[in-house]
Amino acid sequence: MLMVDMTSTLTPVPFVDLSLIHDPLKPEIQAALQAVIDKGDFILGHAVTEFEIGFAKACGVRYGVGVACGTDAIALGLQACGIQPGDEVLVPANTFIATLIGVLHAGATPVLVDCDPCMALIDLNQAAQVVTQKTKAIIPVHLYGQMVSPHQLFAFAKAHNLIIFEDAAQAHLAERESYCAGSIGLAAAFSFYPSKNLGCFGDGGIVVTQNETVAQNLRCLRNYGAPQKYLHTEQGTNSRLDSLQAAILNVKLPHLNTWNRDRNFVAEKYDASLLLLREKGIIPIENQSADGHVYHLYVIRVTEECAIDRDTLKDKLTEQGIQVGIHYPIPCHLQPAYQNLGYKEGNFPQTEKLSQQILSLPMYPGVTTNQINHVFTAIQSAIGA
C-alpha cells in the first residue's frame, strides 16, 4: 500500500524568521562591520557611541550606555540608580528570569508581585500591599511589547516614594499614554538579543536615562568601575557593548519603526480572526496601548472554556508545521534555583494560572496573510470550533 507523507503538504510557519529582515540589509551590515575592522576600535569604539546617542534619542531621553546584555543592563542600571544591598525592589512574578537575576546581581532583594490576568502585566494594587520601609524601587516589565501604564506608575511611585526602573527588554519604541518605553523611569534596561524587535548578532544591552549622574555611574560600572584608565573608584565589572554589535544595531535602528508597524499589522490580523474563537476559550492577551504595542510576542490564553488544554493545542499546532512558544512555562518563584526567596506554589495565583494557559504564536515582520490564516485554521480545527 502506498503511504502518503502528509507533512510534505504542510505550510510551515516558523516562530521567528530573521532572514526576512537581515537579507535586505546584508550589504549595509557587511560594510558597517568592515568599517569597525578597518578602524580597529573593537571596544567602546565609535559605533558604540553612535548607537548610544541614536537609541537614546529614539526613546526620547538624553543618555544611553551600552552594556554586554539585557541582564547586565538591569543589574548595573539599578546600581547606577543608587540601589544597594538591603533594598527591596518590586518585580512582577510574571516575567523572564533575567529580571529577577538583575535585581539579585545588584545586591538587592526582589519582592515579587502578581500580575493582571488580562494584560499579564504587574498588578499595582497587589504591589501596594507589599511595600515596606525597605522598598526603594519598582521594575515595571513592559511584557510582550506592551508598556505598563505610565500614569498609573507615576502615581504609584509618588505615593510610595519609589524609583521607577523600566525593564523594556521586549518593548523597543513601545508607546502608551504619549510616553515611549525608556522615558518614564529614572532609567530603563533594554536587551538586543537576536530575536528582539531590535536585535544584534549575539548578546547586547543598553541602559537609557535622562539623568547625567546615572549615565556617568553606568559608564564607570560597566568598565571595571573605572572613570578613567587604571583608576577604579567603584567595584564594577566588564560589561561593554561590542563595537561590532553596535555597528549592526546602527544599521537596523532606522528600520525599527517600520518593523514594529509590521508586527502591529500581523497582530491586527490575528485579533480579527481569533475574535471568532473567544467563546471557545481562545483569548489573546489584552492590548490597551493601541498602536503603541510593539508585539515582541503575540500571546493567547487557552482558558478553561477551551475543549483542549494549552499543551495539547501546542502539540497539534506543531504537527501542522506551526512553531509556537510558551513565555513562560514556569514562574520565577517556582524555579528551583530561587526557592531561598521563600515563595511557594499558590503565592501568585494569576501568574501561575497564566503559565498553564499562555501560548505564543508566530510573530515577526513578514508573517504573511496565508500563514496567519493557516495558524487560525489549525487552531480552529484543533479545538473543534
In angstroms, rounded to a whole number, what is the distance separating the alpha carbons of residues 157 and 160?
Answer: 5
- Of 76, 78, 86, 83, which is closest to residue 237 (Cα–Cα)? 76
Give, as one character, the DSSP assignment of residue 148.
P
Given a contact cutoff of 8 angstroms between Cβ atoms, the answer to whether 350 and 331 are in contact is: no
Residue the block writes with cell 537609557: 208
DSSP string of 253-282? Answer: GGGHHHHHHHHHHHHHHHHHHHGGGGGGTE
What Cα–Cα distance (Å) separates residue 338 from each residue in 104, 254, 344? 10, 40, 10
**Choice among 136, 196, 280, 314 that is catalytic:** 196
192's CB contacts (< 8 A; 6+ apart) are: 70, 198, 199, 200, 203, 204, 205, 206, 245, 249
Catalytic status, residue 252: no
Residue 52's alpha-carbon distances to 47, 63, 152, 193, in angstroms, are 9, 7, 29, 16
- Whole-angstrom Cα distance, residue 52 to residue 62? 10
Residues forming the active site: 196
